[in-house]
């Protein structure tokens, strides 16, 4: 006979619930990691433009920098989509996960800031 906890769950059910919570937390860490990777791509684009802005014609450096920024924007989008999909499949038990709306806001703001950077690269530099 299995032991029952105060909430009525057996020990194995509790372990399964906590494993699901750990998966949610791992998903949040993965989302943060992908956001950092996207920021790194944007940073590489900005640095490339700053370092190689003397290349003639100028559009070559801007185009390469823009590609890195666009890769960053794609990473922001994909990270948000994948993390939201994981959260939709999971049920939290002991923790309060980050809301998918908050993930969308964070990724959206990063993408908007990156687009602003693209415009600055092309029209202000």
The answer to the question of residue 93 being in a domain is yes
- Residue 1 covered by a domain: no
Annotate 11-24 with b (16+ C-beta within 10 A) or e (fewer).
eeebeebeebbeeb
Strand, helix or coil at 71?
helix
Total count of domains within the chain: 1
Cβ distance 47 to 37 under 8 Å?
Answer: no
Domain residues for 87?
11-123
Condensed to tens digits (0 to 9), the pLDDT of residues 47-75 reads: 998 888 788 888 999 999 999 999 999 99
Does some domain include residue 34?
A: yes
Domain assignment present for 86: yes
pLDDT at position 95 is 79
State the pLDDT at residue 92: 77
Q: Please state the pTM of the whole predicted model.
A: 0.82
Tokens of 101: 């709306």
- 80 assigned to some structural domain: yes
pLDDT digits (tens, 9 = 90+) for 71-116: 999 999 999 999 999 988 887 777 788 899 999 999 999 999 999 9
Asked whether residue 20 is domain-assigned, the answer is: yes
Q: Is residue 5 part of a domain?
A: no
6 lies in some domain: no
pLDDT at 8: 59
Q: What is the mean pLDDT of residues 34-50?
A: 95
């Amino acid at each position: 006979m299995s032991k029952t906890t105060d909430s009525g769950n057996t020990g194995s059910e509790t372990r399964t619930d906590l494993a699901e919570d750990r998966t949610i937390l791992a998903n949040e860490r993965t989302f943060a990691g992908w956001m950092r990777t996207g920021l790194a791509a944007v940073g590489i684009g900005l640095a490339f433009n700053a370092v190689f802005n003397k290349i003639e014609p100028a559009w070559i450096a801007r185009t390469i920098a823009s590609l890195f920024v666009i890769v960053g924007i794609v990473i922001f989008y994909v990270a948000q989509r994948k993390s939201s999909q994981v959260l939709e499949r999971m049920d939290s038990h002991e923790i309060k996960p980050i809301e998918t709306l908050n993930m969308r806001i964070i990724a959206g703001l990063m993408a908007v800031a990156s687009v602003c950077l693209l415009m600055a690269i092309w029209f202000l530099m």
